[in-house]
Amino acid sequence: MSSDHTQLDGQPGPGGHPHSAEPSAASAEAPFLALLARGASADAYEQPVLIARAEGRSAEWIAALEAARTVALCVRSELEGRRRREAELSALFETAHDLAGLRDLDAVLRAIVQRARSLLGTDVAYLSLHDPARGDTYMRVTEGSVAARFQQLRLGMGEGLGGLVAQTARPYVTDDYFKDDRFRHTLAIDSGVRDEGLVAILGVPLTLGHRVIGVLFAADRRARVFEREQIALLGSFAALAAAAIDTANLLTETRSALTELERANEIIRDRSGVIERASDVHDRLAELVLRGGGVHDVAAAVSEILDGTVEFTELAPAEPLETSRIEGHAVRHRDDWIAAVAAGGELLGALVLRGHPGLDPVDQRTLERAAMVTSLLLLARRSAAEAEQRVRGELLDDLLDARDRDPRLLRERAARLGADLDATHVVLAARLDGPAADADQQAAARRRLWSAASHLATTRHGLAAARDGGTVLLLPLTDKDTATELARRTAGHLGTAVHEAVTVGASAPVRDLAVHPDAVAAAYEEGRRCLDALRLLGRSGDGAAAEDFGFLGLLLAGDRDIAGFVERTIGRVVAYDERRGTDLLRTLDAYFASGMSPARTKDDLHVHVNTVAQRLERVGRLLGEDWQSPARALEIQLALRLHRLSASIRN
């Protein structure tokens, strides 16, 4: 066979005999270069040698092929290593890039676990973090896991492979988890690993400085030996995971600090607003007080400031009012706020903010400050009122004692106090009827009565003074009023003011007090007798005048007003007889003289019994249906007798 048929790669010619020439290195390396070029598997590098032996090539040729194969495998291994390192570096770079743009910590940790699993070629990868509160680690991210119990595992320090890594801060690897006794097995951890079917496990620590914050794992469901490079790679991912967690913590702390800073700025702004509002409130209230404003002016100003309705009242709900007085703060009551107006432990009333349940601390403080200003105004008013009350009391004392008989001077003094001595007045004697525990309490109760009476006298343009353990009032009487009505109304008003029963006796109306000041003393004695009569009759806490006691009023009245008694008792019958020329008065005399017998009455009058009945019926219409009751009958008989006596005297 000619040399033209010799193969270029040193293979036998068509005749199957080996070429006589020595093989060259290039000829032996050619098939392996082709394998390298197409990235064939390691098993494919055995084929050229096997073919050469099968063709019966020379030992030198086969040795050359084996040498070329060895070199080719080394090159292939180096190329594989470089490709692997390139992929690892690329994955680390991408992870670092994710970390640099960290927005979601969980997303970054998931990416780290996914890439670790992909590069190490494991069935499962997962990451656990340390729980400072419980002192163990818990599963944070898993990739490739299928068992729920495994995904919820918690590993105590020293428990399981992960607990050992967390405790020692060193990587640990096991080829067969259940046969490895270097770490402490627990039922819970082993059950979770068994559910997941894991055999080979590699764990590396996540550290920040000298502190372990978690563990990164790669695991297979079959026995496997993890190489040093793989351990180092997983350690690099763990370092990135630790950096991501640290960055996230720093971001959280930064956000928290920014939030706190914003909150602080808001507080500063709010405080600034509070100071400005407080200053405005102070200025407005101070201006109001300086220009002589009153309690209701304060309420109106605070209503405007709080954008609500604020009222001053003396009758607020007792429980929240007392709570506000004790605590010194406004108290919410349903939809209202109540701020006690008090001074020296004495409750003067309350400021009530209506229908405003939502009240911030600044507005609450404004309401409390307004209550304080109100108490100062009330105290100032009280001081002025007490001075005026003393003056009123001095004038009434002078009238009672008849020390000053100059009508002009009396009128001038009264006019300065808003009183008119030329008007019709009633003198009222008032006294407390509640029991007193001791002398101090009794004195305090009398002071309250005098204060309430003085206030009433001021508002009614009258006078008041303390006298004989009680209070005496001189009040004007209107045309539409009676002494009795005025006495009862005064008893009710004073009793409500002092929270005790107050009994009031009233005189008959008196006039021209400037000209006849001694009439005041007589009227006062009449009022006192009525007061004593009320108490003897068990009518404590009531009010009455002499006219309310029938014929007893003649005994109580200072001027013994007989004509008035007759007029009040039988005046309508007298007037009827005078107008009609009838004989009703004589019929009444006969009727009572005969023992209230119509039959004997008709005999005395010499008229028919029907006439008597008609006359008595007319009397009933004039005097009222109860005119024959024992009490009324007694008064009517007395009035008839007094009428006869006065008529005989005139005649």
Secondary-structure breakdown of the chain: helix, strand, coil percentages, each rounded to the nearest 5: 60, 15, 25
- State the Rg of the chain over Cα: 59
How does 537-553 read in b/e, with b if 16+ C-beta sit within 10 Å? Answer: eeeebbbbbbbbbbbeb
pLDDT at residue 406 above 50? yes
Question: What pLDDT does 144 receive?
Answer: 94
What distance in Å separates the CA atoms of residue 475 and residue 458, rounded to the nearest whole number? 10
Query: Count of alpha carbons within 13 Å of 32, Cβ hemisphere only?
Result: 23
The predicted-structure confidence for 154-192, as pLDDT tens digits, reads as follows 988 788 898 889 888 899 999 999 999 988 999 999 999
Please give the model's pTM, rounded to 2 decimal places.
0.38
How does 437-451 read in b/e, with b if 16+ C-beta sit within 10 Å? Answer: eeeeeeeebbebbbb
pLDDT at residue 46 above 80? yes
The predicted-structure confidence for 455-505, as pLDDT tens digits, reads as follows 888 888 888 888 888 899 999 988 888 888 898 999 888 888 888 889 998
SS3 call for 29: helix
What distance in Å separates the CA atoms of residue 34 and residue 13, rounded to the nearest whole number? 22
- The answer to whether residues 417 and 455 touch, using CB atoms and an 8 Å cutoff, is no
pLDDT at residue 15 above 60? no
- The answer to whether residues 216 and 206 touch, using CB atoms and an 8 Å cutoff, is yes
The predicted-structure confidence for 339-360, as pLDDT tens digits, reads as follows 888 876 678 888 898 877 777 8
pLDDT at residue 195 above 90? yes
Residues 358-374, mean pLDDT to the nearest whole number: 82
- The answer to whether residues 471 and 401 touch, using CB atoms and an 8 Å cutoff, is no
- The answer to whether residues 542 and 506 touch, using CB atoms and an 8 Å cutoff, is no
Residue 219's pLDDT band, with cuts at 50, 70 and 90, is very high
pLDDT at residue 421 above 50? yes
Question: What pLDDT does 276 receive?
Answer: 66
Q: What are phi and psi of 367, to 5 degrees?
A: -60, -40
| Largest CA-CA distance found in the chain, in angstroms, rounded | 198
Least confident residue range of 100-104, 206-210, 431-435: 100-104
The predicted-structure confidence for 293-309, as pLDDT tens digits, reads as follows 778 888 888 888 888 88
